[in-house]
Structure 1
Amino acid sequence: MSYDDEEYEDDQSGQAPGLSFGQLALSGVLSSGYRKLGMLIEHLETRTYEMQIMGSTGGPRPRITADWVLKEIDKFAQGLGKWLKVAGDDKAEILKHSIGSRPLTEHKTMVEFGSFVGYTATRMGRAVELCYEKGYADGSILFEDSRLQGANRITSMEIDPVHACIARHVLDMSRLSHIVEVWIGQVKDLIPRLIEEHGEMSLNMVFMDQRGTTFHDDLSQLEELSLMFPNCRIVADNCVKPGSPVYCWHTTVSERYKTTNYSLNEFLESTIEDWQVVCDYLGPLAGVPAAGRPSPWEAPRGEEWRSYPIRDLR
């Protein structure tokens, strides 16, 4: 991050211009991108305050919900924040369908690579919340069986700590912190933690929205650690702009994946084409002839069973 020397000349009081006690000026200290994100938070906080004022005038107090937060972010992106690029419009519909087609079961979870402002994480968390509300209503899910208390069902990873804090704040406003958890760090370093938290074959859906040039590396790591449950759905965004050519090639030619490439417009940009690649992981043995598959009762070559003498415990 670069700083402007003229903006950081201290005055006689020893404070930088524009700073007050307990308040940090946005100019200079934070980059331009962070200042823009501050505008988003200001918009959400202002609208929340207006909702509270409406409730104190005698009428029913409006409830701040995840759907309301998503709509407010959409309004901000369509007006003052046209620079805010989130997975909205057609991309949101594809993501919504993908979430609905992969309902969560016991010990299954979802993961998102790249939180940004928590827009997609909020949408995913709301879908899970609706799934459980329906289960509670018809009696198919008991609260003690939902594993929501102390066991987050969606994990979102973000390398930028400022973005992660904003995403957590948005999730708090949406009342989804008990469902979605945001981890800070690089995806390649956090993927092994999924094994520790949830175990093997625990992922039911993966949403990739990080840097496209690392899509294939992160997918390969998921395969090596056996994290994806068979028929795990993987949705990758921005596969044309900025682009992820190696990932698109791998998921298309590999027999382990059943892939569909959706061509659609960038969010609020009718002249810019982008792709969302949706693929289903068929399993590690997909495409392998039955004759070549190892038998579960046969040990791999070089690892034949050996007999060990029983230790004399006397």
Structure 2
Amino acid sequence: ALRGSPASVCRAMESFGEELLGPAGLWLKVAGGRKAAGLASALRGAPPGGGVLEIGTYCGYSAARMGLALPKVYVATLEVDPVHVVIARNVLAFAGLMDRMDVWTGHTKDLLERLPGRYRELEGRPPFGAVFMDQRSSRYLDDYAALRRVGLTLPGAPVVADNVLKPGAPVFLWAASASALGEAQIVRLREFAMPSEDWMLVLVCNAPDARRAGAREVLRPPPEVEALHAESEWMRERAMGAGQGVTFEEWASFAAGVSARLERVGIAASVDATLPGEGRGVNK
């Protein structure tokens, strides 16, 4: 990677995930490859005049990607793990992007309420024209409701949520598919550096609506969706815990099973961004 070159930094991180970790059966959890292209495409549809909010910085890869896609836009990114914060700040500084990046340390339950006071009063309008959610996916619905409740997004702002199929965010998908959160699009694509299907959810935030912002309290998902939520949490804990974790084959099988079960309750991908020959399950 070259100092001051965000593109080369991103390429180096992708190469590490694909060429070193992947053959060893290890996964670098970043939205690389076609996920990066899909994220950039969604960001280009953002209303003008706002920044980008990222929830889940990890090592700074997506923040750098978004900085590349929107070269004149500031990015505020939130990360709960202080070690990841230090890594991300150094990665973004090496890439030459820290002049328009804020890397916050803390939990969304605390930080989202503080952001309006930091950013909002520049023009008396909501500060963010787009949001990328890449934190623990079981937090998506609560965090989405919070960012709408405190007025962080401009009308028409796209909210992109990664990993909604694996490990999964079935309750969030249910709420989005029930038209309770905004205009929704589910994109099916191959996971970065792993032979498995995954989905990204793109929501378009319209004018603030207290009823929609509180959708979590009025929508009760069916038992099948609640069961999927519990299974997603179990897989997430396996992947994060001590021991052998979850193999690529297990992830692919899990994703295919979740996709089939979601279809039975009326939730399916509306856009297929896989390439020819990339069927469901493990792709050699």
Give TM-score scaled by structure 1 length: 0.61
- If asked which structure has higher relative contact order (CA below 8 Å, sep 6+), I would say 2
1:231 to 156, 171, 176: 156
Note if 1:66 corresponds to 2:6: yes
* 1:15-48 deviation digits (Å, cap 9, x = unpaired): xxxxxxxxxxxxxxxxxxxxxxxxxxxxxxxx55
Distance 1:173 1:180 in 2: 12
8 Å contact kept, 1:256–1:283: no
Asked if the contact 2:47/2:157 (under 8 Å) is kept, the reply is no
Matching of residue 219 in structure 1 with residue 144 in structure 2: yes
CA RMSD of aligned residues (A): 2.0
Kept after mapping to 2: 8 A contact 1:111/1:156:
yes
Letter in 2 for 1:184: T
Structure 1: distance between partners of 2:153 and 2:173:
18
Instruction: Specify the alignment match of 1:96 in structure 2.
Output: 40
SS in 2 for 1:168: helix
Q: What letter matches 1:279 in structure 2?
A: L
Matches within 5 A, 1:148-297: 153-199=74-120, 201-270=126-195, 272-285=196-209
Paired with 1:64 and 1:205, the residues of 2 have a C-alpha distance of 25
CA shift in 2, pair 1:209/1:239, >3 Å: same
1:179 Cα deviation after fit: 1.1
Number of residue pairs aligned between Structure 1 and Structure 2? 204
How much does 1:201 deviate? 2.1
TM-score (norm 2): 0.67
Kept after mapping to 2: 8 A contact 1:255/1:286: no
In the alignment, the residues of structure 2 paired with residue 71 and residue 230 of structure 1 have an alpha-carbon distance, to the nearest angstrom, of 33
CA deviations over 1:129-162 (Å, ceiling 9, x no partner): 2xx4xxxxxxxxxxxxxxx8xxxx2100000011
- State the secondary structure of the residue aligned to 1:85: coil
Identity across aligned pairs (percent)?
36
Q: Give the secondary structure class of the aligned counterpart of 1:227.
A: coil
Q: Greater CA deviation, 209-218 or 222-231?
A: 222-231
TM superposition shift of 1:70: 0.7
Cα distance in structure 2, aligned partners of 1:215 and 1:127: 24
What residue in structure 1 maps to residue 53 of structure 2?
Answer: 111
Distance 1:251 1:97 in 2: 20
Displacement of 1:268 after TM fit? 1.7
Hey, what does 2:68 align to over in structure 1?
126
Tell me, in whole angstroms, the C-alpha distance in 1 between the residues paired with 2:143 and 2:96: 30
Q: Which deviates the most, 116-125 or 251-260?
A: 251-260
Gaps of 5+ in 2: 213-284
Q: In 2 relative to 1, CA 197–208 (structure 1 residues): closer, same or farther, beyond 3 Å?
A: same
User: Which has the larger displacement, 198-207 or 84-93?
Assistant: 198-207
CA distance in 2: counterparts of 1:285 and 1:227, whole angstroms: 13
Can you give the 5+ residue segments of structure 1 that lack an aligned partner in the other structure? 1-46, 49-62, 133-147, 289-314
SS in 2 for 1:116: coil
| Structure 1 contact 215–244 (Cα < 8 Å) conserved | yes
Give the alignment partner of residue 84 of structure 1, picking from 28, 34, 40. 28
- Which of the two has greater helix per residue? 2
Q: CA deviation at 1:103?
A: 5.4
**C-alpha distance after superposition, 1:66-115 (max 9, x if no partner):** 0111111111112223321210111111101012221541xx21100101
Q: Which structure has the greater CA radius of gyration? A: 1
Alignment of 1:44-59 (within 5 A): none
Bigger CA drift: 279-288 or 231-240?
A: 279-288
**Local SS of the residue matching 1:181:** strand
Residue 20 of structure 2: SS of its match in structure 1? coil
After TM superposition, give the deviation of residue 284 of structure 1 in Å: 2.9
CA contact 2:47–2:154 (8 Å) conserved in 1: no
**CA shift at 1:254, angstroms?**
2.7
Q: Which residue in 2 is equivalent to 1:20?
A: none
The answer to whether the Cα contact below 8 Å between 2:60 and 2:89 also exists between their aligned partners in 1 is yes
Residues 256 and 282 of structure 1 are in contact (CA less than 8 Å); yes or no, is this contact kept in structure 2?
A: no
